[in-house]
Amino acid sequence: MDSAVTVQNVTQVYVTEERATLAVQGIDFAIARGEFVSLIGPSGCGKTTLLSIIAGLIRPTVGAVTVAGNAVNGPSTRVGYMLQQDYLFPWRTIEDNACMGLEIAGMLTKEKKQSVLHLLEEMGLYSFKDYYPSQLSGGMRQRVALVRTLATEPELLLLDEPFSALDYQTKLQLEDLVVETLQAKKKTALLVTHDISEAIAMSDRIIVLDPNPGRIRQEFHIPDDIRTSVPFEARELPGFHALFRLIWQEFGGHDA
């Protein structure tokens, strides 16, 4: 099968001294190459757990994950992970921060450095390459984090609420930038978000999770016209609000 990701019967139990928590149970899904999927569901339903398992940071209690046909047994440069916080190092310049992933992976060559500078240019950050993170706005810092994530050329991007700390306008701009960039580079993406409209505007498909334990509740395939428009324009399309209402009702008053 031409899947970029498969998640097979994944169950995760966290054991601490006080208790065992069944975080997610029996999760099964696949993502096609180049597909953009969003994972939504109430707080604590296991979204971050699933991303950490796919990233190879946690080994699931039960089940298996593959990325590009390979079993996931630990972190790999095949997978890029972008979080709500940018985790830029304050003492490093923007350019040096953007090169971090490559450096850690031992992949930092002259050519790769050149491609990082090119990515910084694409993201409108080239003239800030010698700045320090504290001199940049939140949206610019997330763009640096995106460059750092793309620099190692991962096939799959995992995005854990990467826009939730940004103001609304910056978030809308970044949504468009991320969708356009990932489409142009033919990347596969799995986005976790609290924001139903963001999920509709950005994705090809939405997976809704139920909490306690986290299970797949429902899937929504996004209609072609919305799917193929950039997020900002997708929001203006006639079918958008009906779909929003439908998914909203799925939460049944949950704090999504």
Least distance from Mg ion to the Cβ atom of residue 122, Å: 29
Instruction: Considering only the stretches 9-17, 45-53, 99-107, 136-144, report the one whose residues sit in contact with Mg ion under the rule CB under 5 A.
Output: 45-53
Quick one: DSSP state of residue 235?
Answer: T
CA distances from 30 to 54, 95, 205 (A): 11, 35, 11
Q: Does residue 49 bind Mg ion (CB under 5 A)?
A: no
Q: Please, which residue, 47 or 171, has the CB nearer to Mg ion?
A: 47
Among 25, 48, 142, 197, interactor with Mg ion by CB under 5 A: 48
Q: Is 60 in the site for ligand ADP (CB under 6 A)?
A: no
| 87 in contact with ligand ADP (CB under 6 A) | no
12 binds Mg ion (CB under 5 A): no
49 interface partner picked from Mg ion, ligand ADP, none, CB below 5 to 8 A per type: ligand ADP
- Is the distance from CB of 71 to CB of 54 less than 8 angstroms? no
Under rule CB under 6 A, residue 44 binds ligand ADP: yes
Yes or no: say if 160 and 84 are a contact pair by the CB < 8 Å rule. Answer: yes
14 forms part of the interface with ligand ADP (CB under 6 A)? yes
- 2, 16, 224, 249: which one contacts ligand ADP (CB under 6 A)? 16
Please report, as ranges, the residues that interact with ligand ADP according to CB under 6 A.
14, 16, 21, 23, 43-49
